[in-house]
């Protein structure tokens, strides 16, 4: 099954917890603090796998979580850092933050890596909190939480040449005779339901990839037919082969079909029409095709909004007429055509630093149901998660951090009174003025 759009959730590993420990050895009085640091958690990394050509692997597996770092130990030993979670993705995958709509990166080069969720650092052990006034601190940090991000993955097929045209214009048949691909071919519309890829190899050693895209219809850019789902795949092609059925068997006007498809491409992305486009007149082995082609050429010459420099190649995929010339001309165009917006995608961000949109460090509101003041916010919640609640000195340090952030004053201003309950995440304590 071909899958080219999925939504997933990724969670980087938390850092390991620091430890409260003291050096206790014979003949070493007052050994001092010896609690080690926690290890770093694992990042979540996307890596391009050239062997993949669909996002099918993500259809039933949509949650990915890297391992947490190891906790610190006594004798100042640091916990083990976790290995990164490497997730293979196919070439041509665009990664977007689902919540913000921000494009994180474009993965188009084999082996290219992108860190999409950064791991938390390990918490510090009590060896870092010793001071002249507190030489034996019972203070340690829990590990920093790893980033958690909701992502949208969109696959845009990487092909040098894209075949576009109305349904039953001969795209699948052409692909089957110029490449070794075996797309489904039948005498009804929308035979092709997913993009098909094939490789063309010339006698002179040149080769290029061709994508047969599902048939477009008028209104495709607005969601009509199947074309809207696959127009994105045209974005990455350098040359477009525009197939026009010249047989007239369906009672359609070839020139009107030609204009309609170009209009849909322009409405989807006007840059597409600036790329080299070859008009491929198909089904030339049928009786009326030659006359229809002459009429098409006259209409093309008279139409002021059409690029007159576009070449027309009459072909017949059944008799193989004109295929050699078409393939060679396409290869020549590829040799001289570069896609400017594709030249930079491989050098895009290697690491994504997700920063949730937060207007302030904390937010206070009163929960009438639980009769408690609730403090929320990314910064204060992160500080609390990194606080070792099992030791009084760590909690006193957290209280000082809250005071420094202005939370005490904000609670008092909001109307909190001595003895009120204050809640942060799942932890509650009593407010003291």
pLDDT single digits (tens) 186-209: 443 434 446 677 888 888 888 888
Q: Quick check: 122 pLDDT over 90?
A: yes
Are the CB atoms for 425 and 384 separated by under 8 Å? yes
Provide the pLDDT confidence category of residue 7 given band limits of 50, 70 and 90: very high
- Please state the pTM of the whole predicted model: 0.69
DSSP 342: T
pLDDT for the residue numbered 126 = 93
Q: Quick check: 13 pLDDT over 90?
A: yes
Are the CB atoms for 255 and 279 separated by under 8 Å? no
Q: Find all residues with CB under 8 Å of 359, minimum gap 6, and list them.
A: none
Mean pLDDT of 364-371: 89
Cα dihedral 197/202/208/211 (nearest 10):
-30
Q: Quick one: tokens of 279?
A: 């008009």
Q: Quick check: 346 pLDDT over 70?
A: no
Cα dihedral 251/256/258/262 (nearest 10):
-140
Say what percent of the chain tops pLDDT 70. Answer: 84
Whole-angstrom distance, CA of residue 123 vs CA of residue 144: 6
Q: Quick check: 94 pLDDT over 70?
A: yes
Q: Quick check: 30 pLDDT over 80?
A: no
Segment of 129-143, 215-229, 270-284 carrying the highest mean pLDDT: 129-143
Q: Quick one: tokens of 180?
A: 């070794």
pLDDT for the residue numbered 59 = 80
3-state secondary structure of 298: helix
Are the CB atoms for 45 and 34 separated by under 8 Å? no
pLDDT for the residue numbered 279 = 93
Segment of 27-31, 140-144, 388-392 carrying the highest mean pLDDT: 140-144
Q: What's the longest Cα–Cα distance across the chain?
A: 106
Higher pLDDT, 302 or 355: 302
């Amino acid at each position: 099954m071909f899958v080219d759009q999925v939504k997933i959730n990724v969670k980087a590993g938390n850092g390991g917890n620091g430890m409260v420990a003291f050096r206790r050895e014979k003949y070493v009085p007052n050994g001092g603090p010896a609690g080690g640091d926690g290890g770093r958690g694992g990042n979540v990394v996307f890596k391009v796998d050239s062997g993949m050509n669909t996002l099918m692997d993500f259809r039933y597996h949509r949650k990915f979580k890297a391992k947490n770092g190891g906790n610190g130990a006594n004798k100042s030993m640091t916990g083990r850092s976790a290995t990164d979670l490497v997730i293979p993705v196919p070439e041509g995958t665009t990664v977007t933050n689902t919540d913000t709509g921000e494009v994180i990166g474009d993965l188009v080069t084999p082996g290219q890596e992108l860190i999409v969720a950064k791991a938390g650092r390990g918490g510090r052990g009590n060896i870092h909190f010793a001071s002249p006034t507190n030489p034996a601190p019972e203070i340690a940090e829990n590990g920093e939480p790893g980033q958690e991000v909701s992502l949208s993955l969109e696959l845009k097929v990487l092909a040098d040449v894209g075949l576009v045209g109305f349904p039953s214009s001969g795209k699948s048949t052409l692909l089957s005779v110029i490449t070794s691909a075996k797309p489904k071919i039948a005498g009804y519309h929308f035979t092709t339901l997913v993009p098909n890829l094939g490789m063309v190899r010339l006698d002179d050693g040149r080769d290029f990839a061709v994508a047969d895209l599902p048939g477009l219809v008028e209104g495709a850019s607005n969601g009509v037919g199947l074309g809207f789902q696959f127009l994105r795949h045209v974005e990455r092609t350098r040359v477009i082969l525009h197939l026009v059925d010249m047989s007239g068997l369906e009672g359609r006007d070839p020139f009107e079909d030609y204009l309609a498809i170009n209009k849909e491409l322009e409405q989807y992305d006007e840059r597409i029409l600036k790329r080299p486009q070859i008009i491929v007149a198909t089904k030339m082995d049928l009786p009326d095709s030659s006359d229809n082609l002459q009429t098409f050429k006259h209409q093309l010459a008279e139409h002021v909004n059409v690029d007159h420099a576009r070449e027309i190649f009459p072909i017949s995929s059944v008799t193989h007429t004109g295929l050699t010339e078409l393939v060679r001309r396409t290869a020549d165009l590829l040799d001289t055509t570069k896609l400017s917006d594709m030249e930079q995608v491989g050098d895009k961000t290697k690491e994504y630093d997700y920063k949730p949109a937060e207007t302030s460090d904390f937010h206070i509101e009163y929960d009438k149901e639980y009769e408690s003041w609730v403090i929320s916010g990314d910064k204060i919640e992160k500080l609390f998660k990194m606080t070792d609640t099992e030791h009084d000195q760590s909690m006193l340090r957290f209280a000082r951090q809250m005071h420094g952030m202005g939370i005490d004053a904000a609670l008092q201003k909001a109307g909190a009174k001595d003895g009120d309950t204050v809640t942060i995440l799942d932890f509650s304590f009593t407010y003291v003025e």
